[in-house]
Amino acid sequence: MAKINLPHDAFDFVGDGRKALVLRNEGDEKFLNLKTEQVLVDQNPPTREQGSDQPGRAFASVGSRRSAVEEADWHVLEEQRFAHEVAAALQRIVRDRKVKALVVVAPPKTLAELRKAFHSEVKNRIVAEIDKDLTKQPVYEIEKHLAE
């Protein structure tokens, strides 16, 4: 991974499908000093606790054949909803705080969902994307990853 150029007052978003951190660089490009601006946490219980207990059934229009309908993965749907919620929160931050530069760090699946959900105002501020899950890391470890 190449060293990320994160200027003073630039923002860093670190998230996955359940938790999101919005950090601001109080340091400079050479010596990062990330401070937590906002934490978003989603309550997303396992799929087995969110859906019905049995999949639905479909009946053929001709004959008497029946087949099971695949149950929705509520957990994945909730992660997608959370990505859209986070994207909206980032848009407010970018607009209200007049963010000049933004780095987005998320696992590949979440990064893909965020890309779809980001408003052009946010997309225009993104200077780097990193496809890693750093949400469980302390801030000083995130700084290390960005400084490498």
At 42-97, the pLDDT tens digits run 875 555 555 555 555 555 556 666 555 566 667 677 888 888 999 999 999 999 99
* Domains of the chain by start residue, with CATH: 11-46+73-147 (3.30.420.60)
Is the CA virtual torsion 130, 17, 135, 6 positive or negative? positive
Cβ atoms within 10 Å of 114's Cβ, excluding its own:
22
Q: What is the pLDDT of residues 116-144, one digit of tens each?
A: 999 999 999 999 999 999 999 999 999 99
Q: What is the pLDDT of residues 15-30, one digit of tens each?
A: 988 899 999 999 998 8
**Alpha-helix runs per DSSP H in the chain:** 47-50, 74-97, 108-117, 120-123, 139-147
- C-alpha dihedral over 92, 123, 99, 21, to 10 degrees? 70
Supply the pTM of this predicted model: 0.78
